[in-house]
Chains A and B, each alone.
Chain A
Amino acid sequence: MATAPAWTPAEPLIRIADVHKAFGAVTVLSGVSLEVMKGEVICVIGPSGSGKSTLLRCINALVPIEKGSIQVEGQEVNDPKLDKLALRRKVGMVFQQYNLFPHKTALQNVMMAPVHVLREDKAEVEARARRLLKKVRLEGKEASYPGELSGGQQQRVAIARSLAMNPDVMLFDEVTAALDPETVKEVLVTIRELAEEGMTCLIVTHEMGFAREVAGHIYFTDRGVIVEHGPPKEFFANARDPRTQQFLSQIL
């Protein structure tokens, strides 16, 4: 396929088909398939080590895959000729450990990539960054360094930083796992608002209540495969696979 047909929003924004990935002798993904439509919110749950983070990293081409296919807006991510910059400005990613740049203020953190990667006008970017910080309820914290912010505040800066690239889809990798119980909520509220505004989201989470509320579809992974998936109501009410049942009984 020399020229891929132009992607239309009627097709999945992310199409993952039979993806395999191993780190040396450790097989992490063995045949994962998953689709995300534009505007959809997907939650991925599963035990530790089941390959959830790896899956998200593959979507962003942070980690190459061995077999299968990942398409983002019709673009094959595994294509050696892939324009990674183009892919990564489409796909925003937020990490468990925030990974803010500690030597930059909150505002600078949000502004850096649009200014230096997209080479956009600095004044325009600054206006957008301030708007985004306000949106994640961090007005007044523009000049604070990450070290001066709480975990929940840092994570919201990280979300704003990702949004500043105007992505088409956001990947969240257990973004509340490192937070105090009190601050978890403020981050989840931010994500829910994004979802309600129509942002396409692929969320890895351990917060079952949140997943039930916000997700249109839930996937359960274990040992590198999708064991089961479905709309939240069905998924939580009558999980069929014993592995899902066991996981849910442990966590709920």
Chain B
Amino acid sequence: MGAGHAHSRILAGVIANRSDLPVVLPFRLGAGTGAAGAWRPGPPHAVALAIALAVFVVVGDAQAAPGTPSILTTLLKWTPLLATGFLLNIAISFIAMAAGTVAGTFLGLMQISLLAPVRGVAWFFTQFFRNAPWLVLLFYCMLLLPFELQIGGTVIPLPAWMKATAGLALAVMANVSELVRGAVQSIPFGQWEASEALAFSRRQTLWMIILPQCVKRMLPPWMNLYAILVVGTALASIVGVNESMTLTGDILAAENRTELLVPMYLYLLLWFFAYCYPIARATVSLERRFQVR
């Protein structure tokens, strides 16, 4: 029958996983304060960033050889190019997040399957990709994926940025998988029991009763994951994708001015910050709102 087993297992899961809400391992730097892995920029970060940029611009201009254009004009000159690179970062983050979320949802549901082998396989893939450094996943995808795919008669080219996206999507998938598993198991057991008593099938219970309640719980950590992913797209520069980080390096090589080095990277950091900050604020306010109810 298995119903009894399922019950006690779900119960055990509920207890065991209370403190095991999803964390993003590769970026868990400031563990110990608040939610592990949560990226929580605040106004002080913005001020510090702006001050640092201003200081390096002023100091750099003072050190510059006479006759060279000021750092600010140089930054502005390269802004359109930087923007195209940054758009690629955003595109990568969108695609990786979408693909990773879909795949991760199914992997997470497999993790709570009643069939032990399915559960085991899903658990293994989740742990493997969640604990692998993102950069390692990127390199794997770069090296293992072909430069083009042949499906039927059509040839689909796989440029480097797509392969990098696949690597990041794997990381997202594993994190979303844990998010789904944790959220499902955090739903009180009584919801399953009441649904079962009302003759809902397990599938109906999952899709109509459990998962809708999970969405609310998963939204803040999911948004947090996205903010971390956006920052993570800069890793693609290491595997040679022409995103904003790579372009910043190219610009610095072209300008060949040492005083430009720090302001340029700070400027890029500002771009990432400006994009991620609203997401982080929205995450925090959503979390607060959900806590109240």
Q: Interface on A for B, CB 8 Å cutoff?
A: 23, 60-64, 80, 84-85, 88-89, 91-93, 95, 97, 99-103, 112-113, 116-118, 147, 158, 161-162, 165
Considering only CB atoms, which chain B residue lies closest to A100 in the complex? B194
Q: Is the CB of B190 within 8 A of A113?
A: no
Q: Is the CB of B1 within 8 A of A95?
A: no
How many residue pairs link A and B with beta carbons under 8 A? The number is 67
Q: Is the CB of B3 within 8 A of A63?
A: yes
Report the bound CA distance from A112 to B191 in whole Å. Answer: 14
Verify if B208 is at the interface (C-beta below 8 Å from A): yes
* A-binding segment of B62-70, B83-91, B198-206: B198-206
Considering only CB atoms, which chain A residue lies closest to B204 in the complex? A116
Q: Is the CB of B194 within 8 A of A112?
A: no
Picked from B8, B199, B209, B213, the residue with its CB within 8 Å of the CB of A165 is: B199
Verify if B250 is at the interface (C-beta below 8 Å from A): no
Complex contacts, B194 vs chain A, CB 8 Å:
93, 95, 99-101, 158
Complex contacts, B152 vs chain A, CB 8 Å:
none
Considering only CB atoms, which chain B residue lies closest to A118 in the complex? B199
User: What band does the interface of chain B fall in when counting residues whose beta carbon is under 8 Å from A?
Assistant: 20 to 34
Q: Is the CB of A88 within 8 A of B7?
A: no
Considering only CB atoms, which chain A residue lies closest to B5 in the complex? A64
B 204-243 contacts with A by CB, 8 A:
204, 208-209, 212-213, 216
Q: Is the CB of B3 within 8 A of A64?
A: yes
Q: Is the CB of B199 within 8 A of A113?
A: yes
Verify if B196 is at the interface (C-beta below 8 Å from A): yes
Complex contacts, B196 vs chain A, CB 8 Å:
62, 88
Q: Is the CB of A63 within 8 A of B198?
A: no
Q: Is the CB of B199 within 8 A of A95?
A: no
Report the bound CA distance from A117 to B205 in whole Å. Answer: 11
Q: Is the CB of B213 within 8 A of A102?
A: yes
Complex contacts, B76 vs chain A, CB 8 Å:
none
Q: Is the CB of A113 within 8 A of B200?
A: yes
Q: List 16 A-B contacts (CB under 8 A).
A: A23-B8, A62-B3, A62-B193, A62-B197, A63-B4, A64-B4, A88-B199, A89-B199, A92-B197, A93-B197, A99-B188, A99-B194, A101-B194, A113-B198, A117-B198, A162-B198
Report the bound CA distance from A128 to B188 in whole Å. Answer: 29
Report the bound CA distance from A189 to B157 in whole Å. Answer: 71
